[in-house]
Structure 1
Amino acid sequence: MLSGAVSSGAGSSGTGSPTTGSSTSTEGSSTSGAQPGSGGNPIADELPVAFTPITGRVVAAPEPVPATDGMIHLVYELQLINVLAQDVRLDSVAVRGDGEDLLELAADDLPSWMRVFGATEPGTTTFGPGQAGLVWLDVTLEPDQQVPARLDHVITATPTTPSEPLIPATLTETIAATEVSTAEPVEVLPPLRGPGWVDGGSCCALTAHRGAVNSISGEFFAAERFAIDYVQVDSEGRLWSGDATSVDSYPYFGTGVYAVADGPVVAVVDGMPEQTPTVNPTGLELAEYGGNHIVQDIGNGRYAFYAHLKTGTAGAWKVGDQLTAGEQIAELGNTGNTDAPHLHFHIMDSPDPLRANGLPFVLDEFEVEGRYPSEDALGPLLEDGGPVPTEPGIARSTQRAAMPLSLDIMTYPGG
């Protein structure tokens, strides 16, 4: 399925003596007449002026979105860099909204929510000298809870070699102040029809999609932050039967894909061959990962991306053609970076499927049939065809203007 690895790299180490070791000298620093600067983030000027061995910034300001769990989600990523010439272990990350505690990732939580670039030890929470990484955040609010206008991040960390007063034994820093976007998530129609559609790998755990924060053209982009890989199970909960390496064993292969909104085509690719299910493709160029696909401008700086389309079904369109909400535009296929037939769908802030940030979206009306209990359930579903047990106690519900969550099983109108 369409996924990306977190770009590996290293943050640059800082200059000035506090970053070169345990020395406490401040030679070369200036405190007279200087005004604190924010590097383009005005609200950061309100933070205390202090030496921060771990620096941070958010990749993109979060946009609040209601989801099928009844909660409001603020979904974003925090980039951290250790500017010291020594190891520093991250111990916790807390999010405060307008001064209120909203989320805390303690030491035991962090391995599931962070990645250190270039780390050779899986699950490490230690940044080497000059090393950087990302922490993925999902702040949830009750539906009647006030959405904060501003978020701050309080981190605690332990340096290998403390050096008072600049580098204490336990670092506590408030960093990466950011505004919360006031934008409303776009409401769209489902891109598919009928029952049994499984949301694979979307918001809000650290799935392959959320983890695909890639370094493109010298910047970080999280194009797949809210991306869904759609597969369909039948009335018995089966994904496929017969020969798992044949696309014909997947009953939903070739099903219709529909425009989620009105708007013109801004990019279209067709003619790439179907891949063999169960086999991870190799040798693909970066631009080929989406396989046959359509990008549609749905207005207000938002673009819909429909990927892995069946060969020969997207080519009926050309750039500039107007699509109408609810009209069939292609068929579900298995082209590009995919190991089973599925539709990859997301909304983004740029017409480039990779050099973009993923934006939240809500579907106008649909039903949640159930939910799989964990990502581990999807492995047997793909490998054996299913059925696999669903999470107990999930009542069928009608959803309106809500974002699907990973592992939801849904019925969409029509079909």
Structure 2
Amino acid sequence: MTDVVELALPFRGTWRVGNSPARRVPSHGTHLFATTYAIDFVAVRDGRSASVRDWRTALGTEPPDRFVGFGVPVLAPAPGRVVAVHDGESDHEARRSPSALVGYALTQAARARGGAGALAGNHVIVELDLGRDGVRAFVVLAHLRAGSPVVAAGDRVVTGQQVGACGNSGNSTQPHVHVQAMDGIDPFSAHGLPIVFTAFRTWSRRRGAPVVVDRGVPGEADVVEPV
């Protein structure tokens, strides 16, 4: 049986869920790069991911700093040891308009050939302290803001410790945090591991009132915050 990796949400505040494995597996449409159970989170304020909507929203690209998640701290979701840090990728323009998204999709294959930096952007990988003999699990926190990682390989981290900040680097159409667990350090050869999150409040599209979840996987388009 595949081990389930238990994590805390890697941020504070309210975030909208995308590509949830509660909706489908593989959650990102592929098993490649150990993304089988990966999940994305976009920061929102009053239900909106950006403070501005204008002609660029409808017709072009937008600066990443108009999005409420850009620069928000990204936190270690469990205790462990940092085994890899990648920085130096630029935060590119965000895309919400259909025309901009179509153009971006056409360059997807080229990014896949560009390696981990082109896909995950700036990222941190933590090997978790699972306390079980022979079991290893690694968590990737991806698309970090350029220059934001504050840890180095070999550092020990505890749950809730900042490791970087939300950005728009790599294969990302707007600032968000991508989380995935895998059974090896190299996403090109590892297999994805299922994730559950602990202690969060969720606002579902199907329910009016928020619900506190002790342990679970948030649904697609739900809004979540840690408790």
- Name the TM-score, length of structure 1 as normaliser: 0.46
| Structure-2 residue corresponding to 1:330 | 164
Are 2:88 and 1:271 equivalent residues in the alignment?
Answer: yes
Residue from 146, 154, 164 that aligns with 1:311? 146
Are 2:37 and 1:226 equivalent residues in the alignment?
Answer: yes
CA distance in 1, matches of 2:158, 2:190: 24
Question: How large is the RMSD of aligned CA atoms in angstroms?
Answer: 2.1
Residue from 290, 298, 322 that aligns with 2:120? 290
CA drift of 1:407 comes to 2.1
CA drift of 1:248 comes to 1.7
| Structure-2 residue corresponding to 1:251 | 68
| Structure-2 residue corresponding to 1:175 | none
Runs of 5+ in structure 2 lacking a partner? 130-134
| Structure-1 residue corresponding to 2:180 | 346
CA drift of 1:264 comes to 0.9
Q: Letter of the aligned partner of 1:199 in structure 2?
A: V
| Structure-2 residue corresponding to 1:92 | none
CA distance in 1, matches of 2:121, 2:28: 20
Identity of paired residues, percent? Answer: 33
- Name the TM-score, length of structure 2 as normaliser: 0.81
Residue from 34, 48, 59 that aligns with 1:238? 48
Query: Is the contact made by 1:367 and 1:396 (CA closer than 8 Å) also made in structure 2?
Result: yes
CA drift of 1:208 comes to 7.4
Residue from 8, 19, 22 that aligns with 1:201? 19
CA distance in 2, matches of 1:357, 1:202: 17
CA distance in 2, matches of 1:308, 1:208: 20
Find the structure with the greater CA-based Rg: 1
1:265-298 Cα deviation digits (max 9, x unpaired): 1111001101111152844303220000000000
CA distance in 2, matches of 1:202, 1:352: 22
1:155-208 Cα deviation digits (max 9, x unpaired): xxxxxxxxxxxxxxxxxxxxxxxxxx174x23221101112x111012133477
Runs of 5+ in structure 1 lacking a partner? 1-180, 215-220, 372-390
Query: Is the contact made by 2:126 and 2:140 (CA closer than 8 Å) also made in structure 1?
Result: yes
Residue from 211, 214, 222 that aligns with 1:400? 214
Query: Is the contact made by 1:310 and 1:333 (CA closer than 8 Å) also made in structure 2?
Result: yes
CA distance in 2, matches of 1:295, 1:182: 20
Residue from 78, 88, 91 that aligns with 1:261? 78
| Alignment coverage as a number of residue pairs | 202
TM superposition outliers: structure 1 runs of 4+ over 6 Å:
none
Higher fraction of helix? 2
CA distance in 1, matches of 2:223, 2:124: 25
| Structure-2 residue corresponding to 1:83 | none
